Amino acid sequence: MNDETVKIPHATAKRLPLYYRFIKNLHASGKQRVSSAELSEAVKVDSATIRRDFSYFGALGKKGYGYNVNYLLNFFTKTLDQDELTKVALIGVGNLGTAFLNYNFLKNNNTIIAMAFEVDKEKVGTMMGEVPIYDMGELKERLQEEDITVVILTVPANAAQQITDELEKANVKGILNFTPARLTVPPSVRVHHIDLAVELQSLIYFLKNYSGDDTEN
């Protein structure tokens, strides 16, 4: 995201890609305006939250009119840097890493996994689809060559912290951590943690204990 979004609260910023995807579809179908109620129904975020989110970036809907789809699309495209292709790297080409390399991120946005890294000598030097797999020893040099500052981490938990320390030295600013390890990073590095096992457990827990309740979070 670019500098204009700095003052947007984190919770709002996290919802932007969700809004973007829906607005893009609306635009493609030729729709010119959308109400916060329609948006709310589609993205499953309550309309008061949507109005507050949108007010942060100056999109003020008019009563009885809603929001201008073109305006929103322009805003999201610029804010989420969708004009530019963002290259990211992946570390650890195991089962999960392989799935990500095979998954085409470009279908939904302008993000591409440009390279991967491994310690396994059998995998180093090969290609997974169109993505080259490099040796961990080349990490810093390769990332800096392509100006890559975002990394997806799919290594075993016990290797995660040491790799994170190396990433910091390679000037990486964002880590999408799929390992169960809780990472220690300096303030200059942002970590988003996705633990699939915990998410699944938590979903099952909510179904067992809160079924019938409307509360989502």
- Does residue 138 interact with ligand ATP by CB under 6 A? no
State the helix-helix crossing angle for 47-56 and 10-28, rounded to 10 degrees: 100
Each residue 96-115 as x (binds ligand ATP by CB under 6 A) or -, in order, gives xx------------------
Residues 16/76, Cβ–Cβ less than 8 Å: yes
Q: Which residue intervals of 36-194 are DSSP H helices?
A: 36-43, 47-56, 69-79, 95-102, 139-145, 157-169
Residues 141/117, Cβ–Cβ less than 8 Å: no
- Does residue 180 interact with ligand ATP by CB under 6 A? no
Residues 185/175, Cβ–Cβ less than 8 Å: yes
Q: Minimum distance from CB of 117 to ligand ATP (Å)?
A: 6
- Does residue 165 interact with ligand ATP by CB under 6 A? no
* The one among 128, 155, 167, 175 contacting ligand ATP by CB under 6 A: 155
Touching ligand ATP, residues 12-51 (CB under 6 A): none
Query: Which of 12, 154 has the CB closer to ligand ATP?
Result: 154
- Does residue 61 interact with ligand ATP by CB under 6 A? no
How far is residue 115's CA from residue 132's CA, in Å, rounded to a whole number? 5
Q: Site residues (CB under 6 A) for ligand ATP?
A: 91-97, 117-120, 136, 154-156, 159, 163
